[in-house]
Amino acid sequence: MEKQLDHLKELSEIRNLMERSSRFISLSGLSGIAVGAVALLGSCVACWYLGFMPNEYSLIMHLYTTPNSVLMENLTFLATDAMFILVSAILLGIYFTNRNAKKKSINIWDRTTRRLLLNLAIPLAVGAVFCLILLQHGVLYLIAPATLIFYGLALVNASKYTLDDLKYLGYMEIGLGLLSAWFYGHGMIAWMIGFGVLHIVYGTVMYYKYER
Amino acid sequence: MKDILSDLNKAFESRVRLGIMAILMVNDFADFNTLKDMLEVSDGNLASHISALEKLEYLSVEKKFVGKKTNTIYAATDAGRKAFKDHLDALERLIRGS
C-alpha cells in the first residue's frame, strides 16, 4: 500500500513538472476581474464625458455631428482615456499575476512567460496594424469589431501556452466581434461587453476554479 | 507482480533523472539553468544525472554560442521518450493492478 502511494506521488510530481515547465500557470483570475473593471470604468468615463449613451447607435456619428473645435477636444480626451485604461489594465494584470506566482512560488519570468507573451503579441500586432489601415481608409465603424476579433484570436493562440480555459474567453471575444461587425454601429456596447463584462466573468470563474 | 516491477526503468529511480526527462518530454529543448531552476538541485548533482542520461542515449546535448558564452541545450532522444513512456505505463499498471 505504501509503495502504491509512493508511485502515485511520483506520477503527480511528474505531471506537475511537465505542466509547470511547458505552460505559464500563474495567470490569476483576479487579473481578469481587475482588467474588466478598469475597462468598464474607462468606457463609462468616456460616455459620461461625451454625454453619450453606450447603446446609442453610433459613437462615430455622435463624434461627427459635434462642431470641429469640440471634436478635437473630444478625440484628445478619448485617446487619453484609452491610454489610461491600457496602462492601468496592464499594471493590474501584472500585479495580480505576480502575486499568484509568488503564492505558488513559481518564477514569473521564464521561458513559458516569454513564449506566452510572444504568441499573444503576434495576432495583436497584426490586429493593431489592420486597425490603423481601417482608420486610414476611414472605415471607422469596423475598428471596434476588429479589435475584439484579433484580441480573441490572440487569446486562442496564447491558450496553448497557459491555462487551457483561456481559449473559451477567446472564442467569445471572436463571436462578439463578428456579431458587432454584422450589426455594426454598436461598437461601444460591444467593447464594454467584450473587454469589461467577459473579463470579469472569466476572471471570476478562473478564480473560483484554481485559486480557492 | 515481479514481471511488472521489472518494467520499471532503473535509470528513472532517481527523482532528478525522472524530472529531467519529464521536462524534456513537453519541451523541444531546455538549457542547464532552466532544468536547475525547475528541479531545484545543485549544479554538480544535475550535471551528474545529465551525463548518466546522456550515456544511456536518452538525451542529446548541443552546445550553442550566445555571444562569447556557451549555452548547452538538452533534448530528449526517441529512445529516451520511449523509455520514459514505458516507465510511466509501468507505474500506472502498478497503481491500477494492486
Q: Which of B19, B26, B98 sits opposite A22 (nearest CB)?
A: B26
Q: Above 90 in pLDDT, residue A19?
A: no
Over range B11-37, report the average pLDDT: 89
pLDDT level of residue B96 (50, 70, 90 thresholds): confident
Q: Which tens digits make up the pLDDT trace of A184-199?
A: 878 889 999 999 999 9
* Residues 98-157 (A) with a CB less than 8 A from some CB of B: 107, 110-111
Task: Flag whether A160 is in a domain.
Answer: yes
Over range A46-50, report the average pLDDT: 85
pLDDT (0 to 100) of residue A156: 97
Rounded distance between C-alpha atoms, residue A44 and residue A198, angstroms: 16
Task: Flag whether A92 is in a domain.
Answer: yes
pLDDT (0 to 100) of residue A63: 67
pLDDT (0 to 100) of residue A56: 57
Instruction: Write down the domain spans for chain B.
Output: 2-97
Task: Flag whether A81 is in a domain.
Answer: yes
Task: Flag whether A23 is in a domain.
Answer: no
Rounded distance between C-alpha atoms, residue B18 and residue B25, angstroms: 11
Full residue range of the structural domain in which residue A92 is found: 30-210
pLDDT (0 to 100) of residue A34: 96
pLDDT (0 to 100) of residue A40: 95
Task: Flag whether A18 is in a domain.
Answer: no
A7 touches B: beta carbon within 8 Å: yes
Cell numbers describing residue A120: 499573444
Q: Above 60 in pLDDT, residue A211?
A: yes
Q: Which tens digits make up the pLDDT trace of A120-140?
A: 999 999 999 999 999 888 888
Backbone phi and psi for residue B30, each to the nearest 5 degrees, phi listed first = -150, 150
Over range B37-63, report the average pLDDT: 92
pLDDT (0 to 100) of residue A78: 85
CB burial string B9-36: b at 16+ within 10 A, e below: bebbeeebbbbbbbbbbebebbebebbb
Give CA separation, B66 vs B11, B29, B33, B69, B71, in Å.
32, 16, 14, 5, 7
Rounded distance between C-alpha atoms, residue A100 and residue A27, angstroms: 7
Cell numbers describing residue A65: 455631428
- Residue of A11, A7, A13, A10 whose CA lies nearest to B98: A7
- Chain A nearest-CA distance from B55, in A, is 22
Task: Flag whether A14 is in a domain.
Answer: no
CATH code of the region B2-97: 1.10.10.10
pLDDT level of residue B63 (50, 70, 90 thresholds): confident
In a 3-state reduction of DSSP, which class is residue B69? strand
pLDDT level of residue B97 (50, 70, 90 thresholds): confident
How many whole angstroms from its chain centre is CA A120?
10
How much is the ipTM here?
0.76
In this predicted model, which residue has the larger pLDDT, B39 or B3? B39
A187 and A54 Cβ atoms separated by less than 8 Å? no
Q: Which of B22, B95, B98 sits opposite A14 (nearest CB)?
A: B22
Q: Above 70 in pLDDT, residue A154?
A: yes
- Number of Cβ within 10 Å of residue A95's Cβ equals 14
* Residues 22-81 (B) with a CB less than 8 A from some CB of A: 22-23, 25-27, 30, 34, 37-39
Q: Which chain A residue's Cα is nearest to B27? A: A22
Q: What percent of chain A has pLDDT over 90?
A: 54
Task: Flag whether A107 is in a domain.
Answer: yes
pLDDT (0 to 100) of residue A1: 60
A-B interface: how many C-beta pairs under 8 angstroms?
A: 46
Q: Above 70 in pLDDT, residue B74?
A: yes
Rounded distance between C-alpha atoms, residue A163 and residue A155, angstroms: 11
What is the number of domains present in chain A? 1
How many whole angstroms from its chain centre is CA A79?
18
Highest mean pLDDT out of A1-15, A61-75, A196-210: A196-210
Q: Which chain B residue's Cα is nearest to A16? A: B22
